[in-house]
Structure 1
């Protein structure tokens, strides 16, 4: 039995990942979010914690006894503060394994016109997520950072991985693919430890995502 707590449990990718987790009898799931009422219908499938991901004490309560922390947090304004609080809480709760959702372009790894478009479109979002990722990388935790390309809602699992330092040319990937990779890591927690993994759908190269 593996115990996992999902931070930002009401997020779009998180909710897809949760469907994988709830269907697996060998996974015990906890959900952490700002407004617990939003996930009230899941109280028979998971333990639910309400709190802020910027509050290390609240996070620590949810992390105690867990094997894996899966952080699926959004918004650039708090992401670096959240990373700092999560690292502190994990160390206090003595949890080592972290799956962290980041964003594309934090290492300037997107070449060509797509890279220019990505920078222009995301702006400060990239800067703040890069700060948070650096903090995670220096934390001493057993982390995997995931950098999805632009996400769509296609009902498919189709992705390829790239490592830090490798260029990313794929422009999009499904949220279901990202969730499937998260679930794969939860089931295989020793895989991709200490790695920052880009995720994209093969064959989607271009100047920007096809749907944008």
Structure 2
């Protein structure tokens, strides 16, 4: 049994991972989010909800007591500030394992027509801020895994493959259920993919853009 802190627990992927963790493991989950009233706890015996702001190092550090693994499902224009706060809080408390959700394209690793389309869609503040946040994580001394999903779908399928930093990104899309499944696997096997930045896509989804565009 592990104690898992989920930052940004109201996010769609985070809620899918939460349900899977409750269903398949005996881990205790601490759910950290702004405006905690938005979240309904499924199992009060295994879940603790904390209302907090990920840019507030003090609040994040307080939530880290007794935690083994941090899963950060954060977003927004201030994602770099959130990354700095999370790293500082984890260093302060001495928690090392971090699973960090980012996005495809932060290394300009998406090839071809899809890469051009991805830049057109995400340049101008999104890719730049997520790339800056990833640098904060990579320059830390944490045992991190960065996850770079393809464009996200709500398909009821779990099917994915990964690429490493420095390799061309594959595919155009991936389901949120697939990303949640990868997160759960990393929580259950925390020594895997440490120091890696993983691109994640559904196989055989190559093209100029995702199928839903």
- TM-score by structure 2 length? 0.97
Q: Which residue in the other structure is 2:154 paired with?
A: 153
Distance change (3 Å), C-alpha of 1:188 and 1:25: closer
Number of aligned residues: 211
Shift of 1:204: 0.2
Provide the C-alpha distance between the structure 1 equivalents of 2:198 and 2:142, rounded to a whole number of angstroms.
Answer: 16
Structure 1 residue runs of 4+, over 4 Å off?
Answer: none
Structure 2: which 5+ runs fail to align? Answer: none
Q: CA deviation at 1:25?
A: 4.3
What pairs with 1:93-172 in structure 2 (closer than 5 Å)?
A: 93-123=93-123, 124-172=125-173
User: CA offset at residue 28 of structure 1?
Assistant: 0.9
Change in Cα spacing, 1:81 to 1:59, as seen in structure 2 (3 Å) is same
Task: Say whether residues 1:6 and 2:18 are aligned partners.
Answer: no
- Tell me the distance in 1 between the aligned counterparts of 2:173 and 2:206: 8
Corresponding position of 1:92: 92
Say if 1:98 and 1:142, in contact at 8 Å, map to a contact too. yes
The superposition leaves residues 4-56 of structure 1 with CA deviations (integer Å, 9 ceiling, x where unpaired) of: 00000000100000001112442111100001111144461411111101000
Identify unmatched segments of 5+ residues in structure 1: none
Partner of 2:181: 180
Contact preservation (8 Å) 1:169, 1:206: no
TM-score, scaled relative to structure 1 = 0.97
Cα RMSD (Å): 1.0
Contact 1:7 1:32 in 2 (8 A): yes
Which residue of 2 is the match for residue 64 of structure 1? 65
1:168–1:198 Cα contact (<8 Å) kept: yes
